[in-house]
Structure 1
Amino acid sequence: MRERRIQIGWAELGITVTAELDGRNPALADALWNALPYRSLQGHALVAGHHLFHVAPVHELLHLPAEQKVDRRAVPDGTVFCSRLQHLGIKYGELTEPMPATPVGRVLPADVDALAEAGRAVWDAVYSSKRHVFAEVSRLGEAGECRVPRLRAEDPTVDALIGKVHAETERVWTHPPEELVELHEGRIASRAGSYETVLTTLLFVNGETRPLGYCAYGGLVRAAADGMPLDCLRQMARILAATPAEFLGYCGLQTLHQFTEGALDAAARMERRTDFLALMSQMALYVNCLGGWNLQLFPWSVGGHLRREACPA
């Protein structure tokens, strides 16, 4: 097996680490390798523990099969994962969530301390300072233009919609979407939020956006890739996506709502599963991008006084 090393850098932190793709889950590793280079907003786990993750602009991660799964808690620090949530994740310390994960490589031992330093800095950026930190991922020793990939459809109308979704995704990929900024600053045209509250609306928006990307659109992509009949895909698309998108539009994410309505209308007329797969994949990447920005902008530190109590042995 030829050696394949990737470089993961955070220019805002002045930290770079090198990881080796080690042959585990080769289909996922190949998809990641072929998508490089890219740049993405760096996130941090908010529940699971010492874990970095970001949305990887790799459509295939949504549906490619995994050959090996592990308990993230038990693997060495520095293990790199690709997931069906369209994430590239890296463990840098203790994890508590028993989630099966699909490893593709490992940060070199010499860089594990630097990785932990990056992890602590990203946690501060996500939880309190709200500083934007971006992961830059490339093949070791190579550089190139970082772009968001665009899929194609045979139907001209579907392809045009994919183009609009792609253009908006690329526009907000490294710049916070104005609609989310407005929402987080309390400017909500619909007046969503009982008794003028904002935090409640932010909480519900976060709680709807992530599963819309991870479960609804991601699930539709997997179902299409696995061969679900097109009639069933059409029905499931409206069942899974219409209501949450309508609610998010009411809360201020009108672009997402409009794209979803367009995607559902297009799906109702589609004759090719490949077109459905392309459109839902492009939508999944867009919604997952919004989800990443939601996590970055959300005022997590307002709950700083709430701390976990030690449980009796």
Structure 2
Amino acid sequence: MSLIVTEERSVEIVWPTLGITVSATLDDRNAALADALWQALPYRSLQGHALVAGHHLYHVAPVHSLLHLPAAQRVDRRTVPDGTVFCSRLQHLGIKYGPLTEPMPATPIGQVVPDDVDSLMEAGRAIWESVYSTKKPIVAEVRRAGRTSGHSLARMKATDPAADALISDVHAETSRIWLEAPRELTELHEGRIASGAGSYGTVVTTMLFVNGETRPLGYSTYGGLVRATVEGMPLEALRHMARVLAGTPAEFLGYCGLDTLNAFTVRLMALLDRIDSRDDFLAVMAHMALYVNCLGGWNLHLFPWDLDTCLREFRGWA
């Protein structure tokens, strides 16, 4: 039996360093997604800001099931009111706070209360400065209204000992870097690249390619493998697709400095043939997805986006 979302399901989204709290009410437009978020509360996450779409906030939500839960209603994000709250298969909790340009279908789960929309806009502007220029991380706390804050990352289990050991190590590393930038990425963004990656001593090129490989590895490869598992793809085909899709990007990212990710991937490839349970396969891929999505969030925060001050959008279209 699916749970019905009621008006009593109120959440608070808090940015402690900004001194801003907004309240939102979950609704029944996508009840399965809203319920998954509700059951995962409270948690904390590095707050991000859209870099292409416009006035939109998002962060990685530590909710494994967001990768595969079905959506009952999709909307064009550009057309909905400011303060609309979304959950997505990219494992994001997002909030629209102003004009958007990207025509992406999105799955709404609630709405910031009208009295808090101005505060949401204030938070959005401050978070943009954090991501674009200052690089001072801002953490979002999401909790049930009237409850205390807290944080934990759920750990799935596998019956195969080697698979469960990999899950344990990936979970521990994800927990370690969830609110603290990974050393490998901070060194990369400081120009310390042990392999020498970056033609003619360039650094921005390597940072750009790392970002370009990490995001689809989490969103499409591991997120896609989770969805394919839930949707019934045969296990042998799942193993084959994991080998085809995950190995090469991880090897390249290891060359660029993400040694931990590459080491996890090597272990994963070595144990694929012994995973004979769909539940085990799902658990491993879900943890890899969350880990890589966490890396992707830090990549987006650390990248020096203000390099574009010398290259601004042409506004003279007829």
Q: TM-score range by the shorter chain?
A: over 0.9
1:221 and 1:76 mapped to 2: Cα distance?
32
Match of 2:62, SS state, is: coil
Per the alignment, in what secondary structure is the counterpart of residue 188 of structure 1?
Answer: coil
What percentage of aligned pairs have identical amino acids? 68
Q: Quick one: which amino acid aligns to residue 73 of structure 2? A: Q
Indicate whether 1:69 and 2:51 are aligned.
no
Correspondence 1:177 to 2:182 = yes
Does 2:232 match 1:227? yes
Q: CA RMSD in A?
A: 0.8
Deviations 1:42-68 (A, max 9, x none): 000000000000000000000000000
Task: Provide TM-score, normalisation by structure 2.
Answer: 0.97
Quote the residue 2:214 is aligned against. 209
Please name the residue that 1:193 is paired with.
198
Q: How many residues align?
A: 313
* Structure 1 residue ranges (4+ consecutive) displaced by more than 6 angstroms after TM superposition: none
- The one of 77, 81, 95 aligned to 2:100: 95
What pairs with 1:1-313 in structure 2 (closer than 5 Å)? 2=6, 3-313=8-318
Partner Cα separation in structure 1 for residue 54 and residue 89 of structure 2: 19
Instruction: State the alpha-carbon separation in 2 of the partners of residues 173 and 89 from structure 1.
Output: 18
Please state how far the C-alpha of 1:155 moved relative to its aligned partner.
1.0
Separation of aligned partners in 1, 2:85 and 2:51: 18
Deviation at 1:145, TM superposition (A): 3.2
Which amino acid in 2 is paired with 1:167?
A: A
Distance 1:16 1:266 in 2: 45
For 2:141 and 2:311, the matched residues in 1 are separated by 34
Q: Provide closer, same or farther for how the CA distance between residues 64 and 269 of structure 1 changes in structure 2, counting only shifts above 3 A.
A: same
Q: In the aligned structure 2, how far is the partner of 1:226 from the partner of 1:131?
A: 40
Shift of 1:311: 4.7
Give the C-alpha shift of residue 222 in structure 1.
0.4
User: Post-superposition shift, 1:264?
Assistant: 2.0
Secondary structure at the aligned position of 1:12 is classed as helix
Q: Which shows bigger deviation, 301-310 or 171-180?
A: 301-310
* Per-residue Cα deviation, 1:253-278 (whole angstroms, up to 9, x for no partner): 00000111112222222100110000
Name the SS of the counterpart of 2:205 in structure 1.
helix
Name the CA distance, whole Å, in 2 between partners of 1:142 and 1:101.
28
Question: Alpha-carbon deviation of 1:312?
Answer: 2.7
- Structure 2, unaligned runs of 5 or more: none
Please list the CA deviations of residues 158-186 of structure 1 after superposition, one character each: whole Å capped at 9, or x if unmatched.
11110000000000000000000111101
Question: For the residues of structure 2 that align with 1:4 and 1:210, how far apart are their CA atoms?
Answer: 32
Aligned equivalents of 1:223, 1:174: Cα separation in 2: 30
Aligned-partner residue type, residue 69 of structure 2: L
Could you list the per-position Cα deviations for residues 229-263 of structure 1 after superposition, in whole angstroms to 9, with x for gaps in the alignment? 00000000011111100000000000000111112
**SS of residue paired to 1:304:** helix
- Farther off after superposition, 172-181 or 266-275: 266-275
Quote the offset at 1:298 in angstroms.
0.3
TM-score in terms of structure 1 length: 0.99
User: Post-superposition shift, 1:203?
Assistant: 0.3
- Alignment partners' CA distance in 2, 1:33 and 1:311: 46
Aligned residue for 2:163, secondary structure, equals: helix
What's the secondary structure of 2:301's corresponding residue?
helix
2:112, 2:54 → 1: CA distance? 18
**Is contact 2:22-2:116 (8 Å) kept?**
yes
Distance in 1 between residues matched to 2:142 and 2:107, nearest whole Å: 19
Q: 1: CA distance between counterparts of 2:160 and 2:149?
A: 31
> 1:182 and 1:129 mapped to 2: Cα distance?
18
SS at match of 2:157: coil
3-state SS of the aligned residue for 2:86? strand
* Cα deviation digits, residues 47-101 of structure 1 (max 9, x gap): 0000000000000000000000000000000000000000000000000000000
